[in-house]
Amino acid sequence: MMPKRSRLGDVRGPISNGPMQSRPLVALLDGRDCSIEMPILKDVATVAFCDAQSTSEIHEKVLNEAVGALMWHTIILTKEDLEKFKALRIIVRIGSGVDNIDVKAAGELGIAVCNVPGYGVEEVADTTMCLILNLYRRTYWLANMVREGKKFTGPEQVRDAAQGCARIRGDTLGLVGLGRIGSAVALRAKVFGFNVSFYDPYLPDGIEKSLGLNRVYTLQELLFHSDCVSLHCTLNEHNHHLINEFTIKQMRPGAFLVNTARGGLVDDEALAVALKQGRIRAAALDVHENEPYNVFQGALKDAPNLLCTPHAAFYSEAATTELREMAASEIRRAIIGNIPECLRNCVNKEYFLRSSTGGGAGGYSEAGINGGYYSGGLQQAHSTTPLEAPHSAGSHAPPSGGGPPPPPVAVIPPVSAVTAPPPQGIIPPPPISETTTATAVQYRHHHHDRRKPLPSTSLITLSVNHAILAELK
C-alpha cells in the first residue's frame, strides 16, 4: 500500500544539521536503562530516556526533535500518538511484536517501523518445551504437592497425584506458525519423540521436507490431529482469539494447549470453560491478553490444570543484551544510511518508494536520516543490504559477530516512483568530549517547568538522578 501523497517528503521532510545544530536525538520511550545502547549510539546521536507509560508523559523536546525512538512493549503508539512526534523518522521495537504500534499510520506519516525478530529464539523455544514437558509429566503440580507437605507412601498415591501424566513418544505436536521459534521448537520436539505437524499458509511448499515435518493446509486439520497445540504466530486483526469456543471444539478431546506467542490469540473465557469441562486437559500460558497477568482476576482465575508464567519466555541475560544491541544498531543504521535500504527489519517498507533516477528514496536525503551530517565514506562503511520483507516465518536474523556488513546490491526501482530531493551538503560531526560519551539524559514531562536552556552539545543537562548517571558512566 502506497502513501496517499506523491512524496514522503510532503509527510515528513528530511532532517539536516547546520553548523550550530546539535546531533540527532534518539529517545528510549518506555525505559530508563541506556547502558547497552549508549556505546553503540554515542558517536552519532544524543540519547534520552523518557521512562513513560504514554505519550502524555514524554517531554516536549522529544516530541518535537527526536528522529529515532526505541520502545519496549509497555507503551502504545496509536495514530494520534504518532502525530505528536514532529521529526520522528524511525521506531525500533525492542522485541519482535509490533502490535502496540499503528504500523499503517506510521508508514503514512513517513515513519519506518522496525523490530528485532531474531532475538531470544532459543530461549522461547526452550521455554515452550519446558511448558510442554510440564503438561505431559505434571512436574509443576507434583512439585507443589511436595512443597505443601503431601506424602506419597505407595504407588496408588503416586497414581492419584500424577493423574493425567502422558507419554510423549508417538504423540503429535501441532505448531501454528513455523517461523524462527516454531522451527526451533519443532527440532527440539522431534528429539523427545513427537511427531510434529505444522500449519503456516505463508511458507512455500517444500520447507516441511527439509525439516522432516508433516504439513497440513488448514487450521482445522491441525487441531483435529494434534495431541498438543503450540502457538507461534504473530497477532493481527485476522487471528485475534484464534483459539476460541469454535476452534476448541475442533481440537482433539483431552489435548494440551501452549501459548508463548501473543496473549490475544486465545479467548480466555472459552479456554476456562474448556479446562473446567476437561475438553482441554491442561494449558500453559506465558503470554496473556491483559498484562501484567493477575491469577486472581479474569476468566481464568478458577480454571484447573492451568500453568501461567509472566511473559518471561524470551528472557536470559545473553538474549536481552543481544536484543538491545540489535535494536540500537538498527537506529544507528538509520542515522548513517538511507531509509529503508539500510534497515534490516523494516516491517512497513512498502510505504517508502525508491527513485527511478537512481537517487535516494522520496522524503529523505541521500545522506540518510541525518542529512549531510556524515561523510560518504562513513555511510558506505555502515551500509547494509535490506533483507526480504518478513512473512509469518520471519526474515533472517542479522548476522552476529563483529564482521563487516555485506556489500550493497543493486535494487530495481518500482515503475511508480518519486524523485529524491537533491543531496545536502556534508557537515562534519561536532567533537565529542570525554564527559558526554556514556551518559543518557532523562526527558519526562514533569521536568518541563525546571528545564534550563538546552545547549547544542552531545549531552543535554536536565534535572536527572545523579545515581543513575553515575551508574551509566
Active site residue 240: no
HSE-CB at 8 with a 13 A cutoff on CA atoms is: 35
Active site residue 291: yes
Of 12, 262, 382, 444, which residue is the catalytic one? 262
Specify the residue for cell string 529524491.
420
Active site residue 317: no
Q: How many CB atoms lie within 10 A of CB 361?
A: 22
Of 60, 80, 245, 291, which residue is the catalytic one? 291
As a whole number of Å, the CA-based R_g of the chain is 25
Of 138, 311, 333, 444, which residue is the catalytic one? 311
SS3 368: strand
- Report which of 16, 48, 23 is spatially closest to residue 457, judged by C-alpha positions: 23
- Report which of 292, 251, 291 is spatially closest to residue 275, judged by C-alpha positions: 251
Catalytic site positions: 262, 291, 311
